[in-house]
């Protein structure tokens, strides 16, 4: 029993370190972009599109991070932004349906699954969920 606890604790600690390696740098970059005005530029550019799903323009950074990299990076971006409960809920649902598209696309390709149609389906489901949640919430 004690060996199992030690092994579990060790694995949990190393998993924690892996997440910290992702989250802290992304959070720092988002904070830097926020204070340099880059996020405001992105927000203005993507604001009309993001309004459809009920998100502010700067949330595009969280979506792109989650879609292209991984969900942990997106969480770091979300923490770095000032979003309300509704926005976080919409982002969470959208990213739950479509995240890590590049990595998972490579895995699907190895499994001989048609990557493009499945990726388009995941993105469409993500956007549909965003629009639907914006109407409901």
Model confidence at 123: pLDDT above 90: yes
Predicted local confidence at residue 1, as pLDDT: 83
Number of domains present in the structure of the chain: 1
Model confidence at 129: pLDDT above 90: yes
* Helix, strand or coil, per DSSP, at residue 11: helix
pTM of the model: 0.80
Task: Cite the DSSP H helix spans in 52-112.
Answer: 59-68, 71-80, 85-97, 101-110
Average pLDDT over residues 82-86: 93
Give the residue numbers spanning the domain of 64. 2-136
């Amino acid at each position: 029993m004690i060996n199992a606890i030690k092994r579990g604790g060790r694995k949990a600690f190393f998993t924690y370190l892996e997440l910290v390696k992702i989250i802290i740098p992304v959070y720092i970059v988002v904070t830097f972009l926020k204070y340099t005005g880059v996020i405001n530029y992105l927000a203005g550019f993507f604001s009309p599109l993001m309004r459809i799903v009920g998100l502010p323009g700067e949330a595009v950074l969280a979506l792109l991070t989650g879609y292209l990299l991984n969900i942990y990076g997106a969480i770091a971006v979300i923490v770095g932004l000032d979003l309300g409960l509704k926005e976080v809920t919409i982002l969470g649902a959208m990213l739950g349906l479509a995240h890590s598209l590049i990595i998972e696309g490579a895995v699907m390709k190895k499994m001989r699954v048609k990557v493009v149609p499945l990726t388009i389906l995941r993105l469409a489901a993500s956007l549909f969920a965003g629009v639907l949640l914006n109407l409901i919430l």
